[in-house]
Amino acid sequence: MTASPSGQRLSGIAGAPILFEPCDALPLVEFGVVLRSGSLMDPREYAGLTRMLGGLLKRGARGQTPSALDERLGDLGARLHVQTGFHSARLGGVVLARNFEPFVELVAGLLRNPALRGSDLARAKRETISALRQGRDDDRYLAGRMFRGSLYGEHPYGRATSGSIQDIRRIKRAPVLEMHETILRRGNLFFAVSGAVSPAEVQTTVKRYFGDIPAGRLAKPKLRVPKLAKGRRVTVVDKPGRTQCQMYIGTLGSRIGDSDYDALALGNVVFGGAFSSRLTNAIRADRGWSYGASSRLHLSKQKAPWAMWTHPATEYAFECAEEQLRLLDSWVRDGVKAKELRFAKRYMINGHCFDLDTASKRLSARVEAEVFGVDSDWTWRLPQRLRAVRRADVNAAIQKRISRRDQSIVVVGEADKLAERFRALPDVVDLQVVPYTEV
Encode pLDDT of 389-437 as tens digits. 999 999 999 999 999 999 999 999 999 999 999 999 999 999 999 999 9
What per-residue confidence (pLDDT) applies to 220?
Answer: 73
> Which DSSP letter does residue 286 get?
I
Express each pLDDT in 14-71 by its tens digit.
889 999 999 999 999 999 999 999 999 999 999 999 999 999 999 999 999 999 999 9
Express each pLDDT in 209-244 by its tens digit.
999 999 988 877 778 889 989 999 999 999 999 999
Torsion sign (Cα): 180, 182, 184, 188 = negative
Dihedral of the alpha carbons of 321, 322, 323, 324, in degrees to the nearest 10 = 50
What per-residue confidence (pLDDT) applies to 2?
Answer: 40
**Short-list 213, 411, 433, 180, CA closest to 312:** 411
Mean pLDDT of 333-348: 98
Mean pLDDT of 359-388: 95
Mean pLDDT of 360-369: 96
Domains belonging to the chain, first-starting first, are 8-210 (3.30.830.10), 232-438 (3.30.830.10)
Evaluate whether 411 touches 237 at the Cβ level (below 8 Å): yes
Q: How many CA atoms lie within 13 A of 26 on its CB side?
A: 10
What per-residue confidence (pLDDT) applies to 1?
Answer: 34
What per-residue confidence (pLDDT) applies to 232?
Answer: 97
Task: Read off the pLDDT band of 6 (50, 70, 90).
Answer: low
**Short-list 305, 331, 183, CA closest to 251:** 305
Mean pLDDT of 267-287: 97
* 174 beta partners: none
Cβ density class 65-95: b for 16+ within 10 Å, e for less: eeeebeebbeebebebebebbbbbbbbbbbb
Percentage of the chain modeled with pLDDT above 90: 93
What per-residue confidence (pLDDT) applies to 221?
Answer: 72
CA distance 118 to 209: 27
> Which DSSP letter does residue 405 get?
S
Task: Read off the pLDDT band of 3 (50, 70, 90).
Answer: very low
